[in-house]
């Protein structure tokens, strides 16, 4: 049986990633829709659209690092 | 290698009598990227296209509408006899238009007849004269079967035919009782149907005829399409070239007697260009050369292994003339990042094999992507040996690095790779700035970042590693002038960007994170399969299925993830340090473009 302390640590790490991932997903949804819209008008905007769409992905990486730091405290 | 091909600006002046010859020659040489003349208030006007162009355009419209209707494609050849082709096209166009009209008419007739045949009242046989009597109201349609019970004992004339849940009726009611009957009918879900103008037998006979005619017409059209496919494609290709030639004067400046064509040619082709043009015009031409400015077209020039990576640059935006062409850096860092993320001997081999298997299915335009993935797959195999992984299994007992356990080392390596990559970007930015705006601007705009970075490193080392106050003070002292320099170089925009030093470096942690996710998934697949194999029996089949499907999906996810994230690190983190882009692609006059 895992003790309460470690389970809370594990749970917090999970929340750190989940929150960051949700935030990134939300942001990417907004940008991605707009980018597709722009692409429908002008196909050359694909490169720019792709970049703008993936920018929020970094948020998840932050979440992951925070999670790793939390796990490290175990 | 690190620069787009050098261009020379050239202006060609000659008398209008030479126009035709010059255009033909330019078209055949495929060297001049025309700088389109824009009319301003001045001496020069736009040139006039050659007279043939109107006729050609008209035929092109016919051709293209036929080609897109037939949805055909093929490798084009030149058509030699143009007048013959013109007659053939007109005939073909008339014939197919008629045929298509006929098919459309037959189709609508077919639809109409089908509707008539599905009309439930068509089989009812009654005297049509009753419909026109003044004293009698006819009700023709379908109604629920229960309605018939209501009619028992009543003396109306009724013709009926039972169907699944309803009954088709033709009911004739004296006028004064009509309202009452109508109410009753409504209660039982009466639907009125129009009375068909022909009987069931006749309609189905006509339908048969129509369908036969339709089949004949369709097969005739198909035959026309098959036998003329190559002709249509060839003629379209030929006309397109002719139109481009004929319209070329529209892109030149012209006076009443002379014309000026301006554009760019690759600098190393200058001698060839000059000798051919003077030869064709018997020296009656004046050529003026000039330096190519920032608006010159871009032809990327890279050694063969780096060529496929030009595709990734083209996808984003081409560099401006005079800017650094980062394609060669892609060749080194892209496979490095990709391999570091996927890093598995088995996956590397599988990707390599898959690229050779599936390439044929994809259009030839995708070829560069396959070449990129192949190079990246080799890097994946190399990193697979470093991490000691084969489809997630640890086949080396003590690998150089274990991705599942050496988390801190892996994070550190990722961050260091990021720092090196970013600083390389800043260095390229320094060179770009120095070339475009002088060394002073370069020092302020890009050099300042180095000052700030050194300051931060010194501060960090002093605080954490050496515990030295002197180092900390030096570090802090460097930050302030660094920031001031940055403000002078890039304005407030640069200062706002300062936190990206941290966020960009952290962003490279994905190099490790994506790899970890891929390994973890592979390990889960392997462990669940091993568990099943130990149970034996039929479970072994299931285990094999899990292994194959699981690794296949994980491989697809891994390749896509690694590819996109490696690309993103270049586009977002790396390029923003130096790359401006926005160059036009070098498309010399005479290089045929496809209209589809």
Instruction: Point out the residue among A47, A54, A61 whose CB comes nearest to the CB of B509.
Output: A61
State the average pLDDT over residues B413-421.
93
CATH code that applies to domain B120-195 = 3.30.70.2750
Q: Which of B415, B497, B406, B410 is nearest to B457 (CA)?
A: B415
Count CA atoms within 13 Å of residue B451 on its CB side.
19
**Across B261-268, average pLDDT:** 91
Does A47 sit within 8 Å of B571, measured CB to CB? Answer: yes
**A8–chain B Cβ distance below 8 A for any pair:** no
For B39-58, write each residue's pLDDT tens digit: 777 788 888 888 777 788 88
pLDDT at A3: 87
Q: What is the pLDDT of residue B574?
A: 92
User: Is any Cβ of chain B less than 8 angstroms from the Cβ of A50?
Assistant: yes
Q: Please name the residue ranges forming H helices in B248-307.
A: 270-280
Percent of chain B with pLDDT over 70: 99
What digits encode the pLDDT tens for the residues B464-475?
Answer: 877 778 888 888
**pLDDT at residue B237 above 70?**
yes
The answer to whether the Cα torsion of B192, B195, B199, B202 is positive or negative is negative
C-alpha span between B296 and B32 (Å, rounded): 12
Mean of per-residue pLDDT scores for chain B: 87
Q: How confident is the model at residue A74 (pLDDT cuts 50, 70, 90)?
A: low
Q: Which member of B411, B510, B571 has the closest CB to residue A51? A: B571
- The answer to whether B315 contacts A62, with C-beta atoms less than 8 Å apart, is no
Interface of B with A in 535-594 (CB under 8 A): 564-565, 567-568, 571-572
Q: Is A58 on the interface with B (CB under 8 A)?
A: yes
**Would an 8 Å CB–CB cutoff place A57 in contact with chain B?**
yes
B162-177 mean pLDDT: 83
| pLDDT for B593 | 62
So what's the pLDDT on residue B424? 94
Domain with CATH 3.30.70.2750 in chain B: 120-195
Chain B contact set for A51 (CB, 8 A): 316, 568, 571-572
Contact list in B for residue A58 (CB cut-off 8 A) is: 503, 506-507, 510
Stretch 269-328 of chain B: residues touching chain A, C-beta under 8 Å: 315-317
Rounded-to-5 percentages of helix, strand, coil across chain A: 90, 0, 10
Q: Which pLDDT band, with edges at 50, 70 and 90, does B416 fall under?
A: very high
Every domain range in chain B assigned CATH 3.30.70.120: 7-47+252-291
Q: Does B510 touch chain A (CB under 8 A)?
A: yes
> How confident is the model at residue B135, as a pLDDT?
83
Q: How far apart are CA A64 and CA B97, in angstroms?
A: 64
Structure confidence at residue B428 (pLDDT): 92
CA distance A54 to chain B (A): 7
Contact between chains at B568 and A51 (C-beta distance less than 8 A): yes
Query: Which residues on adjacent β-strands are paired with residue B583?
Result: B318
Q: Does A69 touch chain B (CB under 8 A)?
A: no
| Predicted local confidence at residue B490, as pLDDT | 83
Nearest-Cα distance to chain B for A9, in Å, is 18
Q: What is the pLDDT of residues B304-345, one digit of tens each?
A: 889 999 988 888 888 988 889 999 999 999 999 999 999 999
Alpha helices in B536-593 (DSSP H): 539-568
Q: Where are the beta strands (DSSP E) in B282-376?
A: 285-291
Is A65 an interface residue toward B (CB < 8 Å)? yes
Q: Taking Cα atoms as reference points, which of B264, B99, B135, B117 lies closest to residue B197?
A: B117
Q: Please give the CATH topology (third level) of the domain spanning B7-47+252-291.
A: Alpha-Beta Plaits (3.30.70)
pLDDT in tens, B58-90: 888 888 888 888 888 777 888 888 888 888 888
Of the ranges B311-320, B394-403, B417-426, B476-485, the best mean pLDDT one:
B417-426
Q: Which residue in B510, B515, B520, B577 has the most chain A C-beta atoms within 10 A of its own C-beta, making it the best mutation to test that interface? A: B510
Chain B contact present for A62, CB below 8 A: yes
Whether residues A47 and B317 touch (CB distance < 8 A) is answered with yes
The answer to whether A57 touches A24, Cβ cutoff 8 Å, is yes
Task: Express as a percent the part of chain B with pLDDT over 90.
Answer: 25
CA distance B504 to chain A (A): 8
> Does the structure show a pLDDT above 70 at A1?
no
Contacts of B95-101 spanning 24+ positions with Cβ under 8 A: B95/B224, B96/B66, B96/B69, B96/B221, B96/B224, B99/B217, B99/B220, B99/B221, B99/B224, B100/B69, B100/B221
């Amino acid at each position: 049986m895992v003790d309460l302390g470690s389970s809370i640590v594990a749970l917090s790490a999970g929340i750190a990633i989940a929150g960051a991932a949700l935030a990134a997903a939300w942001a990417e949804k907004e940008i991605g829709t707009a980018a597709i819209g722009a692409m429908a008008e002008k196909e050359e905007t694909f490169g720019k659209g792709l970049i703008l769409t993936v920018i929020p992905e970094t948020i998840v990486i932050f979440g992951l690092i925070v999670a790793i730091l939390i796990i490290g405290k175990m | 290698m690190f620069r787009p091909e050098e261009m020379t600006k050239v202006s060609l002046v000659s008398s209008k009598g030479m126009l035709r010859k010059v255009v033909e020659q330019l078209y055949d040489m495929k060297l001049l990227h025309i700088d389109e003349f824009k009319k301003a208030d001045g001496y020069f006007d736009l040139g006039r296209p050659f007279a043939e162009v109107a006729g050609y355009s008209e035929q092109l419209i016919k051709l293209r509408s036929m080609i897109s209707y037939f949805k055909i494609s093929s490798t084009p050849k030149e058509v030699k006899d143009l007048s013959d082709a013109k007659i053939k096209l007109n005939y073909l166009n008339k014939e197919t238009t008629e045929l298509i009209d006929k098919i459309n008419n037959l189709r609508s007739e077919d639809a109409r007849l089908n509707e008539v045949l599905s009309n439930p009242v068509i089989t009812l046989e009654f005297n049509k004269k009753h419909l026109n009597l003044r004293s009698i109201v006819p009700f023709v349609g379908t109604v629920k079967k229960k309605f018939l019970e209501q009619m028992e004992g009543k003396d109306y004339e009724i013709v009926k035919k039972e169907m699944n849940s309803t009954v088709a009726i033709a009911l004739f009611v004296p006028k004064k009782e009509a309202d009452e009957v109508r109410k009753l009918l409504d209660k039982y879900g009466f639907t009125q149907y129009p009375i068909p103008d022909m009987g069931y037998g006749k309609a189905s006979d006509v339908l048969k005829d129509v369908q036969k005619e339709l089949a004949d017409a369709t097969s005739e059209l198909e035959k026309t399409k098959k036998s003329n496919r190559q002709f249509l494609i060839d003629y379209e290709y030929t006309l397109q070239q002719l139109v481009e030639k004929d319209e070329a004067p529209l892109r030149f400046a012209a006076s009443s007697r002379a014309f000026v064509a301006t554009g760019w040619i690759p600098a190393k082709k200058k001698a060839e260009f000059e000798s051919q043009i003077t030869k064709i015009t018997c020296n009656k031409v004046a050529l003026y050369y000039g330096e190519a400015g920032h608006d010159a077209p871009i032809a990327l020039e890279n050694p063969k292994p780096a060529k496929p990576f030009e595709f990734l640059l083209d996808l984003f935006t081409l560099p401006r003339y005079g800017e650094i062409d980062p394609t060669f850096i892609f060749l080194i860092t892209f496979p490095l990042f990709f391999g570091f993320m996927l890093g598995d001997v088995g996956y590397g081999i599988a990707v390599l094999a898959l690229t050779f298997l599936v390439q044929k299915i994809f259009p030839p335009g995708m070829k560069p992507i396959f070449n990129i993935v192949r190079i990246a797959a080799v890097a994946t195999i190399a990193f697979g040996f470093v991490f000691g992984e084969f489809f997630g299994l640890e086949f080396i007992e003590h690998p150089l690095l274990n991705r599942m356990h050496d988390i801190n080392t892996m994070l550190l390596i990722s961050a260091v790779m990021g720092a090196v990559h970013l600083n390389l970007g800043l260095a390229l930015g320094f060179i770009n700035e120095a070339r475009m705006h002088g060394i002073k601007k370069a020092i302020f705009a890009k050099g300042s970042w180095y000052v700030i970075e050194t300051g931060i490193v010194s501060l960090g080392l002093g605080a954490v590693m050496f515990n030295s106050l002197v180092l900390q003070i030096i570090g802090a002292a460097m930050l302030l002038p660094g920031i001031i320099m940055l403000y002078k170089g890039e304005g407030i925009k640069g200062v706002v960007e300062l936190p990206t030093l941290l966020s960009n470096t952290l962003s490279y942690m994905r190099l490790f994170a994506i790899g970890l996710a891929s390994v973890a998934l592979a390990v889960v697949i392997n462990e669940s399969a091993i568990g099943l194999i130990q149970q034996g029996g039929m479970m072994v089949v299931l285990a094999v299925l899990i292994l194959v499907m699981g690794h296949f999906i994980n491989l697809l996810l891994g390749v896509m993830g690694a590819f996109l994230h490696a690309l993103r690190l270049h586009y977002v983190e790396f390029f923003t340090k130096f790359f401006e882009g926005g160059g036009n692609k070098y498309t010399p006059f005479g290089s045929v473009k496809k209209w589809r």
